[in-house]
Each structure stands twice: as C-alpha cells, then as structure tokens.
Amino acid sequence: MQERINTSIRAEVLGKLEALARQHQVTIISAIESGSRSWGFPSPDSDYDVRFVYAHAPEWYIQLDPERDVIELPVNAVLDIGGWDVRKAMTLANSGNSVIQEWLISPLVYREDPQRAAVLREMVERTFNAKATFHHYSAMAHNMIAALDAPDIKLKRFFYISRATLSALWVMREHTMPTVVFPDLLQALTDDTAVLEAFQRQIRDKATKTEVETGAVDPLCMAFVRAAYREVMAADVDKLPPRRWALGNGDLREFLMIGI
C-alpha cells in the first residue's frame, strides 16, 4: 500500500511552499514527494524529498539577464525542498530528462494547480524519449551493481539498484515511462508469486531498518534483479523508438497564458 504523508509533515511542507511562492512571486504548478517514499520502500528515517515546478508571471521571461530558475531551501535531516521553473522543466524534458517525467507522475502530491498541472503533465509526457530514459536507468544500475557482490549490503542500496534495473527493463519492453511505484513496477514485469512475495517481505524488512543498516537479501530477490540486469545489459538500444515530440517556444507561451 502506498504510504501517506504524515499530517504534521504535510502541514509544514505546505506552509513552506506557500512562503516560497509569496517570497519569489511564483505560482506553484505541482509539488510532489520524490524518492523512496513515493517509490514505495521508505525506511523509518527516510527524509521527505519535496520537489515542485513553478511559473513566474509572463513578463518575467522577457529579460536580458535571466534570473535563477531554481528555488530551494537548505536541506535538513527531515526536509529536502527544491523546485524548477517551468521553462527549465520543459527544456530538461526536451533533453530526455527522466527526473521531470518522474516528478509529474508521483503518486504523492502536496499541492497543485489542477488545470496547469494537467497541461504540463500532458506536454512533458509527449517529450518521452525511450533511448534517453533507458540510458538514464541502465547507467544508474550499472554504476551500483557491484554492490550486490558485497557480503553485506544496505537495503537502501539494494532497492535503488532494483528500481533502476527494473525501470530500464520496463522501458526496454514497453517503450513507455515506467511507473515510479516499485511494487507496481515489479508486478508489471513478473507474475512469479514467489518473487513478488519475497520482495514484499523485503520491503517490510526495510521499513524496520534505518537507511544505513545492512540486511540479508532474499535469494529470490537477488536472483531476479541479477537476471533483469543481464537482460538490460544485453538490450539492443537501437530498437528503441525515437523521441516523440519536442516542446517549443509556442508551447511555453501557451502554457504561461493559461488562466490569464
């Protein structure tokens, strides 16, 4: 079951987002939870990774010296809050950035402007680049895979490797953006009941351990991830479809005029 955000944390986050919107004179289009809580395998001490996309008034975008297009607060042990301007988000989407794709499909939403969020979600979805997304997740998996050979592995690291590997596998098979919810991702890639149950036990185990703790990984989970990794590494990337669409100046202008 997908985690719900603690009521007091949600209230604190909403207060900080409102203060940022007033301070910077921006409209928050969508503010979501990213990281292990949205992925479905948090630890008791996992922080809250709050990410948001915002927009200035249209005239802000007409200036000789562009101002900073990122808003963020100092990170502490509980909250990590940061956001991107919508022009930056669109530019990154055009470049095949998987992060903005993930933000806009997170199941844990703090607040959003319904009309603008829906339009932006549809625009960014159109830019999906299977090759770039596959490379993003497969490279992430490749950079961490050696950790599986350690005699003891942090469960956080095991799940990060698993998520990256299975996300790449999804892209290779489905040619679409993978779901960010790990249990759903897993269930879409296998109907092996024993494997699914083993991962459920592993997620429950992680929920009792801090992020730095190591733990035993079920052999079924380990074997499944290793097999998925081999399949990903053997993939013929040239068979993946090209980018669907690129956003242009007209799309940004159209977006900024919504509601005006």
pLDDT of 3 over the 90 cut: no
> Tell me: the pLDDT tens digits for 162-203?
999 999 999 999 999 999 999 999 999 999 999 999 999 999
Which amino acid belongs to residue 14?
Answer: L
What are the backbone angles phi and psi of residue 55, rounded to the nearest 5°? -135, 140
> How much is the pLDDT for 1?
39
The band of 259, judged by pLDDT with boundaries at 50, 70 and 90, is: confident
Confirm if 180 and 202 have CB atoms less than 8 A apart: no
Which amino acid belongs to residue 163?
Answer: R
Per DSSP bridges, beta strands 27-34 and 109-112 are antiparallel
What are the backbone angles phi and psi of residue 146, rounded to the nearest 5°? -60, -25
Confirm if 4 and 37 have CB atoms less than 8 A apart: no
- 180-219 per-residue burial string, b: 16 or more CB within 10 A, e: under 16: bbbbebbebbbeeeebeebbeebbeebeebebebebebbe
Confirm if 100 and 49 have CB atoms less than 8 A apart: no
E strand or H helix that includes residue 32:
strand 27-34
> How much is the pLDDT for 133?
97
Cα 158 from Cα 217, distance rounded (Å)? 8
Cα 24 from Cα 117, distance rounded (Å)? 19
Partners of 53 in the beta sheet?
30, 84
pLDDT of 11 over the 70 cut: yes
Q: Model's pTM, two decimal places?
A: 0.94
Confirm if 30 and 113 have CB atoms less than 8 A apart: yes
The band of 256, judged by pLDDT with boundaries at 50, 70 and 90, is: very high
> How much is the pLDDT for 213?
86
CA atoms within 13 A on the CB side of 2: 16
CA atoms within 13 A on the CB side of 6: 13
3-state secondary structure of 241: coil
